[in-house]
Amino acid sequence: MIPYLTENTVFGCSLAPSAIIRCREGNNRKVTYNGVNLLTTGAKAQVKVGICPILTAQAQGAPQPCRCSLGTWRGFKRNVTFRQSMPFLTEKSFNVCTVCGGLIRVKASMNFKVGDGNDLDVSAVNWLHSASRGELPAEDKAIFSRSPEAVAGKEHPAKMEAENPSKARMPLTVNKESPVAIRQRCEEERDEPVLVPLLCNMDQGEKCRTCLYPKASTEVHNDSSVLRKNYENKPEREKDEYDIYYESVLGNKNESYWTNAAHHLISGNQVFKKYPEIVRLANFYNEMKNSGNTTYKGYDINGAANCIMLISKDREYRQKADDAVKKNISAYDAMSMTGIQWHLGGHSYTFAKDEIPIFHQRIKLFTKKEAKELRNYAELVENEMSKIQLSLCQRKVCRNTPRQNAAFVLRMNNLSTKIKKYLAAFREKPHHSYPYYVSLEAFRYTFGLPRTGKIAVVKGGSNDENVVLEKYRVKRFEETIINKDANLAFNPICHPSEINPQEFGLSDEVSRKACIFFCENIEHFIEIGSVDVNKLPFQVDSKHILKLPDCSGKSTEKILQSHDTEILVFLRNSTSSYAAPVRKIKERLSEAGL
């Protein structure tokens, strides 16, 4: 038996999964369950909590609250009414929001089943007449299977009315129709097509009744292998500058260190699937095309127009699965050498709280734009898809025409082209791709890595007690990441009347003090060869120490250049708050007792 709904029912919207909608009954004030009114087709949306993605997209990303307004209710039982005119809603009832076009359905309900023994307010319910008993559908026959007293656990309402005539009762009635009429109506209800949120006006009469659009599937067949195959079969004349660049970068390498990945610009599973109304329209056009109607072009989420080739894990990546630093180095090396975004890691990534302030600061510095809210790749594409859906909802026309199919394909391909331009700009300067980064590592590579900093290199001295210190200012290349032999510039720090590099004995107070002044406020130390940073007269945090192997015959700068990406990751993972040189020197002198 189908449960009937009360005002405690919570409804949801297909376009806003987080939205909560509750309705207030506009006609029934007498038929209640546990003191709560039952809902009829006169119910209107009253409580609306949550953000509407469609309205948010229209407001250029500024969060907009749900402003749900209901149209005509469907999916109710016409034979059970209030005052013989207002059918009661059931768990199968649904509506369509007239603002965003979302399907409004029951999310959670405080419901009851008439005749199932629930505690009905019999003072307000006049039990169903038995005259029509024999011809109702099977699921409603149970309503009359027991006496009202047995059902409600109370005295018969007629007896209660005699004892207390002041209690008014509004009837829950069955329309008094002939058994044949009732049977016919029930059959019509079962044959009536289910209402779905459509992006058309449904006013074409006979054409709408035979249209296959409402019955089209909302399944998404996202397949990267098909996407890759379609890209590889793309004619040369359709390839753009990025396609040619990608082929030249990977084609000129004697050995391929990184695999490639065919990326859906509009992600099928993470984004496209969230818009069933658009998916239904795309699948309808595909059905028309596949039926042999050559005037329809369809739309393929796996089409070459929705593809961009990116780079992914290297050959030895699996061996680094448990080493986050080595995995970072692989990703940064790949992006540095190719100028192509790193695809591995998922598109719905999240940002660490401690990284967000750094990202905001650097986004403003490099792009001259304020980042009010950091969004991942999937969220950005969802925002664009919401704009498309809003446009289709606001201008509802008959979509069953080749012209509308062509317009739909053009709109979707234009979005793919727009996103591809952002991703392709990574080869010029990484921040030119902002805000579109397909992975968190691509985002971190652009805005999370340090742009400048100071390091001290520690080597063994002329004897076991001595150390040699060299200090460098590390600067990341800003102009471009392409056609560079190194990712970092290591510039020796030279002050007037100061020698760099310099050897310190550390056996006497004067040498220890000179060592502290030489190191200034440097926090990051790199050991080369068999030397121990702990020999220094001050304490160095272990996370601020990087060990590199000694390379005989190579200068310090050459050794650093050969490990530049490793140093870059080291600096990113061991950030520290800034301290002025004078202050840091004073702290270290005090620590050393000097």
pLDDT confidence of 570, banded at 50, 70, 90? confident
**Both 277 and 249 in a single domain?**
yes
Residue where a domain stops, chosen among 380, 413, 446: 446
Rounded mean pLDDT of 193-214?
72
Tokens 């000179």 — which residue? Answer: 514
- Could you tell me if residue 208 is inside a domain? no
**Both 413 and 266 in a single domain?**
yes
Name which residue leads in pLDDT, 422 or 549.
422
pLDDT confidence of 132, banded at 50, 70, 90? very low
Range among 149-163, 203-217, 313-327 rated most confident: 203-217
> Quick one: pLDDT at residue 338?
83
The pair phi, psi for residue 441, each rounded to 5°, is -65, -35
- Could you tell me if residue 339 is inside a domain? yes
321-359 confidence digits (pLDDT tens): 455 555 666 777 778 778 899 998 789 999 988 888 888
**Torsion angle in degrees (nearest 10) through CA of 236, 242, 248, 253:** -130
> What secondary structure letter does DSSP report for 349?
-
Tokens 């067949």 — which residue? Answer: 221
Residue 65 clears pLDDT 50, i.e. is over it: yes
From first CA to last CA, the distance across the chain in angstroms is: 87
**Both 358 and 494 in a single domain?**
no
> Quick one: pLDDT at residue 436?
96
**Both 496 and 414 in a single domain?**
no
Global pTM value = 0.62
> Quick one: pLDDT at residue 324?
58
> Quick one: pLDDT at residue 72?
83
Considering only 36-50, 118-132, 149-163, which range has the smallest mean pLDDT?
Answer: 118-132
- Could you tell me if residue 74 is inside a domain? yes
**Both 426 and 296 in a single domain?**
yes
pLDDT confidence of 111, banded at 50, 70, 90? low
pLDDT confidence of 141, banded at 50, 70, 90? very low
**Both 486 and 560 in a single domain?**
yes
Range among 193-207, 329-343, 497-511 rated most confident: 497-511
**Both 469 and 524 in a single domain?**
yes
Percentage of the chain lying above the pLDDT 90 cut? 21
**Nearest-angstrom CA–CA distance, 436 and 548:** 35
**Both 228 and 87 in a single domain?**
no
**Both 521 and 434 in a single domain?**
no
Rounded mean pLDDT of 249-265?
74
* Average pLDDT over all residues of the chain: 77
> Quick one: pLDDT at residue 131?
30
CB-CB neighbours of 216 under 10 Å: 20
Range among 73-87, 250-264, 408-422, 568-582 rated most confident: 408-422
| Cβ atoms of 316 and 257 closer than 8 Å | no
Name which residue leads in pLDDT, 178 or 332.
332
7-61 confidence digits (pLDDT tens): 888 898 888 877 889 898 887 777 777 778 888 888 998 878 888 888 887 777 7
Residue 493 clears pLDDT 50, i.e. is over it: yes
Domain that holds residue 107: 2-114
**Both 438 and 454 in a single domain?**
no
431-481 confidence digits (pLDDT tens): 999 999 999 989 988 888 777 788 899 988 888 888 899 999 887 765 444
Rounded mean pLDDT of 307-328?
66
Q: 3-class secondary structure for 58-121?
A: HCCCCCCECCCCECCCECCCCCEEECCCEEECECCCEEEECCCCCEEEEEECCCECCCCCCCEC
**Both 454 and 442 in a single domain?**
no
- Could you tell me if residue 166 is inside a domain? no
Name which residue leads in pLDDT, 244 or 258.
244
**Both 412 and 433 in a single domain?**
yes
- Could you tell me if residue 84 is inside a domain? yes
Is 542 strand, coil or helix? helix
pLDDT confidence of 565, banded at 50, 70, 90? confident
Considering only 24-28, 150-154, 406-410, which range has the smallest mean pLDDT?
Answer: 150-154
The pair phi, psi for residue 377, each rounded to 5°, is -60, -45
Tokens 């502290």 — which residue? Answer: 516
- Could you tell me if residue 209 is inside a domain? no
> Quick one: pLDDT at residue 74?
82
Percentage of the chain lying above the pLDDT 70 cut? 76
Is 10 strand, coil or helix? strand
Total domain count, the chain? 3
Closest CA to 234 of 11, 420, 474, 41: 420
> Quick one: pLDDT at residue 166?
44
pLDDT confidence of 192, banded at 50, 70, 90? very low
Considering only 163-172, 340-349, 532-541, which range has the smallest mean pLDDT?
Answer: 163-172
**Nearest-angstrom CA–CA distance, 290 and 521:** 70
- Could you tell me if residue 267 is inside a domain? yes
Residue where a domain stops, chosen among 99, 114, 129: 114
pLDDT confidence of 317, banded at 50, 70, 90? low
> Quick one: pLDDT at residue 341?
92
- Could you tell me if residue 180 is inside a domain? no
pLDDT confidence of 182, banded at 50, 70, 90? very low
Residue where a domain stops, chosen among 385, 417, 446: 446
Considering only 139-153, 176-190, 410-424, which range has the smallest mean pLDDT?
Answer: 139-153
